[in-house]
Amino acid sequence: MRGGVAVLLAVLVCVTAWGVLRDGDPEQPQQTTARTPDGALTFAMPATWRTRACPADEGDCLRVTSPDMTEAEAATVAFLPPNPVEGTPVDALVNPGVTVPGSTSVTVDGLPATRLDPDEQQGQDAILVAGRARTAVGSTFMVLCPVGGDPESSRAMCDQILRTLKVTR
**In whole angstroms, what is the distance from residue 160 CA to residue 50 CA?**
14
Of 99, 117, 102, nearest to 162 by C-alpha is: 117
Global pTM value: 0.78
Of 46, 81, 45, 63, nearest to 144 by C-alpha is: 63
Q: In this predicted structure, what is the pLDDT of residue 100? A: 83
CB 166 within 8 A of CB 43: yes
Q: In this predicted structure, what is the pLDDT of residue 27? A: 59
**In whole angstroms, what is the distance from residue 143 CA to residue 169 CA?**
16
Q: In this predicted structure, what is the pLDDT of residue 9? A: 35
Q: In this predicted structure, what is the pLDDT of residue 135? A: 82
Of 147, 149, 143, nearest to 163 by C-alpha is: 143
Q: In this predicted structure, what is the pLDDT of residue 34? A: 96
- Return averaged pLDDT per consecutive 10 residues of the chain, 169 residues in all: 41 37 54 95 96 85 92 92 74 79 91 88 82 87 89 92 95
Q: In this predicted structure, what is the pLDDT of residue 82? A: 84
Q: In this predicted structure, what is the pLDDT of residue 122? A: 66
Q: In this predicted structure, what is the pLDDT of residue 83? A: 76
Structural domains of the chain, ranges and CATH numbers in brackets: 30-167 (3.40.1000.10)
CB 40 within 8 A of CB 133: yes
